[in-house]
Structure 1
Amino acid sequence: MFKSKVIEIFKTFTTEEIKLFRNFLLSPFHNSNKKVIKLFEILKKYYPEFSSGYIQKEHLFKKLYPGKKYSDIVMRILISDLLKLAEEFLSYKGFTEDRITEKKIPDI
């Protein structure tokens, strides 16, 4: 298994957050790259431990691009894009939770 910040982030997600993040990825407002969605769908199968030996960039590439020669640059870009979206999701989630908290606290 390769080390990746995005996998470390996914390990912290609850089952509900995994579902919400999937919806976030499917929204054209947030993401238009179908390969990023497919990468997430592949990785999601290994939730919550992400300890499988199949989580190798080469193996993921074969799933994403059957029959194509492995490109580390392509994988790094996809993983980076997925990381950015995970960070955006966390920011968005934090913002919406703050807004809900503000509405619950009466003005003093």
Structure 2
Amino acid sequence: MQNSKLIQTIRSLGKVDLNRLKAFVESPYYNKHINVIELMQYIYNCYPGFDTGQLERKKVYKSLFPGQTYDYSKLSHLMNYLQELTEHFLAAEAFNTDTFLPHYLALLKIKNTGLNFLYEKKYACS
């Protein structure tokens, strides 16, 4: 797991961004899978060193699913889902720091939902 795309991506984050990612993953708006939250917590607890021994697949699996037989595909599925959430988080962070795009997309959504009065009011102010 140490050399996985997921760990490499998370390893690139600073502490502040890692905390924000953890909050993002724990948000029921973005994720409703408790096992993914538990995997995020496990990886979070390995920060900053991401010790190879702690990130051995079977050890991670045993921590997430005590008493169950190791299932490579089950852990891979969780890792892939967490990677997708991590990429979504990175996109959201970029989106939130953009000064134009959020306003533009909000205006489009307002216009496309038939709220013309709100669109015209917002557009006049922009």
Shorter-chain TM-score tier: 0.7 to 0.9
The whole-number CA distance in structure 2 between the counterparts of 1:2 and 1:13 is 15
> Cα offset for 1:12?
1.1
> Cα offset for 1:14?
1.1
Q: Alignment identity in percent?
A: 27
Q: Is the 8 A contact 1:46 1:52 kept in 2?
A: no
TM-score of the pair, normalised by structure 2: 0.75
The whole-number CA distance in structure 1 between the counterparts of 2:51 and 2:78 is 20
Moved over 6 A (4+): none
Q: Does 1:31 align with 2:31?
A: yes
> Cα offset for 1:52?
3.1
Q: Is the 8 A contact 2:61 2:75 kept in 1?
A: yes
Unaligned 5+ segments in structure 1 are 104-108
The whole-number CA distance in structure 2 between the counterparts of 1:48 and 1:30 is 25
Compute the RMSD of aligned alpha carbons.
1.9
Higher relative contact order (CA 8 A, sep 6+): 1
- Rg comparison, structure with higher value: 2
Unaligned 5+ segments in structure 2 are 104-126
The whole-number CA distance in structure 2 between the counterparts of 1:98 and 1:11 is 24
The whole-number CA distance in structure 2 between the counterparts of 1:61 and 1:53 is 13
